[in-house]
């Protein structure tokens, strides 16, 4: 029995949302029944509102809203010959998830669409022509837009890829986006060797933490830039425990301390930018001649400005990276994705790559989870345990 399958669904051009709860009885020809909560109005949530399984605190408009809905029935599709029934186990709330629901992400799934780009599930049933998967396997999405904020789904076999189930649940749930992004950026843009240096902003992000750990496993030093905050000392200690070579504040990038720092390590070959704006410009200034800056995010929502001197006198290279595009480009190369996942899972087993700090959230606490996920200086990733 698969029970309480809740999904957050975006419906309509910009303002209609749907929320789904699914129940399924296993077995051929069994009846599949579901309840769906359809959003057709907006108002700020009040303490006496009736709780629903999952409500998104936001909209596709520029202003934020609370959303309420109504329940209605739906059916879960039967398992076809080339499809699988997946019980979702855990799914994080990432910034890209919220951007997609708001309609501001680079890709938007066909409507209606379930929220959530990342997560891990377990195969419960496979179709007669499914060869690579079997009941009990853990799987994660191959691509963005699959819709992981639900407790069960019938998916095409090629929509998911298997993972070993001997790694921690949260490591599996958060493996498909941030660690893969970090892995590719450390592998594809510069030939980094032990002793080389990488500088990055947004070092406390999921990508940043993965960069620290993967780089440390390869003998690569990291200069990690973070924003000042009340718990800065604890944050520095935590990042250094992960393997960070140096942790500095944004303001330090513009100070004399950087010259002293470079007496203890090489100038960076590679800069990883997840912020944009002035922070990205300062990263560029510290690159060695011929170095590269790769932009994968823009939390500051400001453009990347490249100093003319960096282009002319340092011959720096400025590129962008989006792991979704990488996966699509390599969709016919099974070995590329499998090889990366195998290497990441090996690091996890060795204790060299851990999941970011996570807060386990049940569906009954959805409001708190979403509010927390959208706050600045969030210390833990919100993970829906389904």
CA distance 116 to 134: 24
CA distance 192 to 221: 10
Nearest CA to 305 out of 327, 334, 284 is that of 284
To the query of whether residue 105 is one of the catalytic residues in this protein, the response is yes
CA distance 134 to 199: 42
Of 105, 170, 189, 366, the catalytic one is 105
Cβ atoms of 54 and 29 closer than 8 Å? no
CA distances from 384 to 49, 151, 226 (A): 21, 10, 27
CA distance 121 to 169: 10
CA distance 306 to 311: 8
Cβ atoms of 19 and 52 closer than 8 Å? yes
CA distance 353 to 214: 7
Cβ atoms of 211 and 200 closer than 8 Å? yes
Strand partners, 276: 302
CA distance 269 to 267: 7
CA distance 277 to 303: 5
Own/partner long-range contacts of 58-63 (Cβ < 8 Å, ≥24 apart): 58/98, 58/101, 58/102, 58/370, 58/374, 59/14, 59/15, 59/17, 59/102, 60/10, 60/13, 60/14, 60/15, 60/101, 60/102, 60/103, 60/104, 61/14, 61/15
Residues annotated as catalytic are: 105
């Amino acid at each position: 029995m698969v029970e309480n399958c809740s999904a957050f669904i975006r419906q309509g051009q910009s303002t209609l949302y749907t929320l789904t709860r699914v129940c399924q009885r296993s077995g051929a020809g069994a009846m599949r029944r579901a309840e769906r909560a359809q959003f057709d109005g907006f108002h700020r949530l009040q303490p006496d509102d009736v709780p629903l399984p999952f409500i998104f605190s936001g909209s596709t408009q520029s202003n934020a809203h609370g959303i309420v809905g109504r329940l209605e029935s739906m059916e879960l599709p039967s398992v076809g010959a080339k499809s699988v029934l997946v019980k979702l186990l855990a799914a994080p709330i990432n910034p890209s998830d919220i951007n997609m629901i708001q309609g501001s992400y680079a890709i938007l799934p066909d409507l209606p669409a379930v929220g959530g780009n990342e997560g891990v599930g377990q195969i419960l049933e496979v179709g007669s022509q499914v060869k690579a998967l079997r009941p009990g396997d853990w799987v994660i999405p191959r691509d963005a837009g699959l819709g992981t904020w639900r407790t069960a789904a019938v998916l095409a076999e090629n929509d998911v890829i298997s993972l070993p189930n001997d790694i921690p649940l949260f490591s599996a749930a958060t493996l498909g986006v941030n660690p893969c992004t970090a892995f590719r950026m450390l592998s594809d843009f510069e030939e980094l060797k032990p002793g080389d240096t990488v500088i990055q902003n947004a070092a406390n992000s999921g990508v940043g933490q993965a960069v620290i750990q993967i780089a440390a496993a390869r003998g690569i030093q990291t200069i990690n830039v973070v924003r000042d905050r009340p718990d800065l000392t604890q944050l520095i200690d935590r990042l250094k425990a992960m393997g960070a070579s140096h942790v500095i504040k944004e303001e330090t990038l513009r100070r004399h301390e950087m010259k002293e720092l470079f007496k203890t390590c090489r100038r960076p070959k590679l800069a990883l930018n997840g912020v944009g704006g002035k922070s990205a410009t300062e990263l560029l200034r510290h690159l060695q001649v011929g170095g590269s800056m790769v932009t994968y995010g823009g939390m500051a929502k400001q453009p990347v400005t490249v100093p003319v001197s960096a282009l002319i006198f340092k011959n720096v290279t400025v590129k962008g990276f989006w792991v979704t595009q990488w996966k699509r480009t390599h969709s016919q190369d099974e070995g590329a994705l499998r090889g990366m996942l195998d290497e990441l899972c090996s690091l996890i087993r060795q204790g060299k790559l851990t999941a970011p700090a996570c807060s386990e959230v049940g569906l009954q606490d959805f409001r708190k989870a979403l509010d927390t996920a959208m706050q600045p200086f969030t210390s833990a990733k919100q993970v829906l345990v389904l």
